[in-house]
């Protein structure tokens, strides 16, 4: 490996946002070790209340199509495959997150859930739990999807449900959703849970939409609106 500076891609150790690091290091393993503790600017300036967010993959063409089938085309059978991928995302937290966790799917606003017929995050979470119980039978993962409710169709609009207020929230939580974009939804869910007494909150999503990627797609959309399929989703994919 030559000693010239090279652009290496790493993710924020907290939220997973891509970091472009201009590194001049001989050993790439050392570079990865250094980058593991680095955080993006947003997480440094205003640290989220979740311990870490992980995703199965970037919000690329294939994964975007599969998520679109589940969210907008009502192809529920896709949840089985995506649930396995979600389980693989959760496994990235092995050794970091607790083995006993309450699992909460990011809630949808009630009107949106009625329109769609289901909350895709609940389907993904339940499928992932099924896979994880076989993959890691010693883990104790319990679904608690009704602990949070979404009171408005905006990101900062989550509160504890009546059932959530009655539940002992002193344990650790894993919040599951389909896409992490700005991280605002994950931050708000974690904030509400931590304020209610949760010990720690981790976040797992199917996809991580990198900001630079989304900006490029948005620019392409306005240059050529016919170029992108499901362009209304590409311009601003919903975390919920």
CB 78 within 8 A of CB 70: yes
Closest CA to 81 of 24, 31, 128, 115: 128
Is the pLDDT at 148 greater than 70? The verdict is yes
State pLDDT tens for residues 84-140: 999 999 999 999 998 999 999 999 888 889 989 999 999 999 999 999 999 999 999
How far apart are the two ends of the chain, measured CA to CA in Å? 43
CB 201 within 8 A of CB 173: yes
Is the pLDDT at 236 greater than 80? The verdict is no
Q: Are strands 172-180 and 18-23 parallel, antiparallel or unpaired?
A: unpaired
HSE (side-chain half, CA atoms, 13 Å) at 118: 16
Is the pLDDT at 142 greater than 80? The verdict is yes
Q: Are strands 158-160 and 172-180 parallel, antiparallel or unpaired?
A: unpaired
- Give how far Cα 123 sits from Cα of 75, 178, 234, Å: 11, 10, 22
Residue 168 CA to residue 102 CA, distance in Å, equals: 11
Is the pLDDT at 219 greater than 70? The verdict is no
State pLDDT tens for residues 33-74: 454 568 888 998 999 999 999 999 999 889 999 999 999 999
**Predicted confidence band at 25 (pLDDT cuts at 50, 70, 90)?**
very low
> What burial class does residue 216 get, using C-beta atoms within 10 Å of its C-beta: 0-12 exposed, 13-18 middle, 19+ buried?
exposed
Q: Are strands 200-208 and 172-180 parallel, antiparallel or unpaired?
A: parallel
Average of per-residue pLDDT values in the chain: 78
Is the pLDDT at 1 greater than 90? The verdict is no
Give the phi and the psi of residue 146 in degrees, each rounded to 5.
-90, 10
Residue of higher predicted confidence among 159 and 21:
159
Residue of higher predicted confidence among 19 and 92:
92
- Give how far Cα 112 sits from Cα of 116, 118, 121, 153, 205, Å: 6, 9, 13, 8, 20
Determine the average pLDDT of the residues in 199-210. 93
The residues near 29 (Cβ < 8 Å, ≥ 6 apart) are none
Look at residue 112 in the predicted model and tell me its pLDDT.
86
Look at residue 11 in the predicted model and tell me its pLDDT.
80
Helix (H) or strand (E) segment spanning residue 39: none
Query: Can you give the pTM of this predicted structure?
Result: 0.77
Q: Take residue 18 and report the two structure tokens written for it.
A: 């891509």
Look at residue 21 in the predicted model and tell me its pLDDT.
58
Is the pLDDT at 176 greater than 70? The verdict is yes
Closest CA to 181 of 206, 161, 200, 160: 206
**Predicted confidence band at 4 (pLDDT cuts at 50, 70, 90)?**
very low
């Amino acid at each position: 490996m030559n000693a010239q500076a090279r652009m290496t891609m790493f993710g924020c150790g907290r939220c997973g946002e891509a970091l472009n690091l201009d590194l001049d290091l001989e050993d790439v393993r050392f570079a990865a070790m250094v980058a593991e503790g680095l955080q993006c600017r947003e997480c440094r300036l205003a640290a989220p209340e979740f311990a870490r967010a992980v995703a199965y993959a970037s919000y690329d063409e294939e994964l975007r199509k599969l998520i679109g089938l589940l969210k907008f085309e009502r192809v529920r059978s896709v949840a089985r495959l995506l649930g396995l991928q979600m389980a693989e995302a959760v496994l990235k937290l092995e050794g970091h997150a607790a083995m006993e966790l309450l699992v909460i799917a990011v809630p949808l606003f009630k009107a949106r859930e009625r329109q769609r017929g289901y909350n895709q995050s609940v389907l993904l979470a339940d499928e992932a739990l099924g896979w994880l119980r076989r993959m890691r039978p010693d883990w104790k993962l319990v679904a608690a999807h009704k602990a949070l409710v979404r009171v408005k169709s905006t990101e900062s609009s989550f509160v504890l449900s009546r059932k959530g207020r009655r539940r002992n929230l002193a344990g650790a939580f894993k919040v599951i959703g389909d896409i992490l974009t700005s991280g605002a939804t994950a931050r708000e869910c974690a904030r509400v849970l931590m304020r209610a007494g949760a010990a720690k909150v981790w976040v797992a999503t199917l996809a991580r939409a990198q900001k630079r990627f989304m900006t490029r797609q948005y620019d392409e959309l306005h240059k050529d609106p016919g170029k992108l399929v499901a362009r209304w989703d590409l311009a601003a994919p919903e975390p919920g």
